[in-house]
């Protein structure tokens, strides 16, 4: 039981390049989330999904797109990377229903030059 797995763990991009971050969970969770964390700050919610085929915007969605084609996977895309998107990205998942705790992956460290 791996929990929440994020791929890749590290990546360096040039401005304008595109890439996709993958989040996979094996806990059969309905809900999945993408956060970013910048130095000295707490996590901020980018997008989330309450089920396969559904996504919604969080606090800081601009510049990102997401897809949830399969229940176990939640993809975060950067179409044209910008230096302001240099951050650590965390994925999380939880069961459906009120007050279910979120389980987090170990993050993807993304640098955009």
Partner 1 sequence: DAKTTQPPSMDCAEGRAANLPCNHSTISGNEYVYWYRQIHSQGPQYIIHGLKNNETNEMASLIITEDRKSSTLILPHATLRDTAVYYCIVRVRGATNKLIFGTGTLLAVQP
Shortest separation between residue 15's beta carbon and partner 1, angstroms: 25
SS3 of 85, please? Answer: helix
Helix or strand holding residue 103 (H, E): strand 103-104
Q: Candidates 11-19, 38-46, 64-72, 73-81 — which segment interacts with partner 1 by CB under 8 A? A: 38-46
Query: Residues in the chain, how many?
Result: 113
Helix or strand holding residue 100 (H, E): none
Size of residue set near partner 1 by CB under 8 A: 30
For the purposes of burial, counting CB atoms within 10 Å of the CB of 47, is it exposed (0-12), middle (13-18) or buried (19 or more)?
Answer: buried
Shortest separation between residue 5's beta carbon and partner 1, angstroms: 11
Query: Binding residue for partner 1 (CB under 8 A) from 99, 111, 112, 113?
Result: 99
| In the block, residue with structure tokens 């085929």 | 53
Residues 39-98 that bind partner 1 (CB under 8 A): 40-45, 48, 50, 56, 58-59, 90, 92, 94, 96-98
Q: Candidates 10-18, 28-36, 67-75, 77-85 — which segment interacts with partner 1 by CB under 8 A? A: 28-36
């Amino acid at each position: 039981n791996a929990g929440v797995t994020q791929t890749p763990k590290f990546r360096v991009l040039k401005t304008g390049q595109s890439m996709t971050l993958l989040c996979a969970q094996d806990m059969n969770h309905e809900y999945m989330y993408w956060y970013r964390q910048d130095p000295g700050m707490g996590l901020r919610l980018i997008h989330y999904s309450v089920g396969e085929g559904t996504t919604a915007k969080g606090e800081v969605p601009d510049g990102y797109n997401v897809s949830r084609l399969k229940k176990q996977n939640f993809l975060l895309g950067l179409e044209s990377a910008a230096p302001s998107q240099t951050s650590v990205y965390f994925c999380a998942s939880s069961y459906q229903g009120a007050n279910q705790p979120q389980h987090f992956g170990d993050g993807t460290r993304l640098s955009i030059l």
